Amino acid sequence: MTLRNSILGKSLLTLACVLGVTACSSTPTHYYTLIAPATQAPANASPSPFQFEMQAVLMAVQVDQPPLVIRQGDGSLAILENERWGAPLGDEFHDALTGQLERRFGSRDLAGLPKQSDQPVLSVRTDVRRFESVLDQYALIDVVWNLSLRASGTGPGTQRQNLTCSSVIRQPAGIGMESLVIAHQKAVSTLADTIARTATQWARQSETRCPS
């Protein structure tokens, strides 16, 4: 074996070892969802007095991206490329809140589908101003939500009422990323409780105001 071939062989062996170590030590990517197991939200015993449709969610731009964004103690944000949402965060929030409200209202989301003309239609719109994640500490959501109730009938003079409220929900989180995601799931569930309770009361008594 010539000296050149010997050096080349050693170089290839070194390169193979480096690639092997790199492959073994690479961090796996984890995917999370805001959609909690259905058993965490009790179903409503009786259907609400309206049809329900969920509108698109507006999400704070700082966190509306595939990787999880963690707030740090110095006020900076850490983007965790290997910790990701299963779908865009705005879609995750929309689907999670929709599922929670469906169970509480006792009816399905009819957005984009034909509605019965003899029953009122409740539209829910949410604007997530803050979606804050602090690892090993808490999850926080700050949401402005709007209820729009359209009376039965489809004519141009159909009456519509609107109610705009806001909720700031802080949920303690345990240790680890999974606990932080579960805390966000619980925060969405708490928001669904507030929206469903307010909407049902408001549909029956128009003088109902936002919860304090």
Is residue 4, in this structure, part of any structural domain at all? no
**Of 149, 142, 128, the residue nearest 199 (C-alpha):** 149
The range of the structural domain enclosing residue 78 comes to 31-204
**Of 196, 132, 143, the residue nearest 168 (C-alpha):** 143
Give the pLDDT confidence score for residue 89 in this predicted structure: 95
Please report, as a single letter, which amino acid is at residue 174. Answer: G
User: Which tokens sit at 13?
Assistant: 């062996």
pLDDT band at 156 (very low <50, low <70, confident <90, very high): low
3-state secondary structure of 186: helix
3-state secondary structure of 160: strand
User: Which tokens sit at 209?
Assistant: 């105001």
pLDDT higher than threshold 80 for residue 94: yes
Q: How many domains does the chain have?
A: 1
**Of 180, 73, 181, 186, the residue nearest 136 (C-alpha):** 180
Give the pLDDT confidence score for residue 147 in this predicted structure: 97
Distance CA 75, CA 177 (A): 19
Mean pLDDT is lowest, of 9-18, 63-72, 107-116, 117-126, for 9-18
Q: Are strands 67-71 and 77-85 parallel, antiparallel or unpaired?
A: antiparallel
What number is the average pLDDT over the span 24-30?
Answer: 78
Is residue 9, in this structure, part of any structural domain at all? no
3-state secondary structure of 153: coil
Give the pLDDT confidence score for residue 5 in this predicted structure: 47
pLDDT tens track for 97-154: 999 999 999 999 999 999 988 899 999 999 999 999 999 999 999 999 999 999 876 5
CATH assignment at residue 39:
3.40.50.10610
**Of 202, 193, 149, the residue nearest 167 (C-alpha):** 193
DSSP string, 42-66: PPPSS--SSEEEEEEEEE-TTT-SS
Is residue 58, in this structure, part of any structural domain at all? yes
Give the pLDDT confidence score for residue 157 in this predicted structure: 52
CB 85 within 8 A of CB 154: no
Distance CA 124, CA 116 (A): 18
Is residue 53, in this structure, part of any structural domain at all? yes
Is residue 97, in this structure, part of any structural domain at all? yes
Is residue 199, in this structure, part of any structural domain at all? yes
Is residue 22, in this structure, part of any structural domain at all? no
Taking every pair of Cα atoms in the chain, the longest distance, rounded to a whole number of angstroms, is: 94
Is residue 155, in this structure, part of any structural domain at all? yes
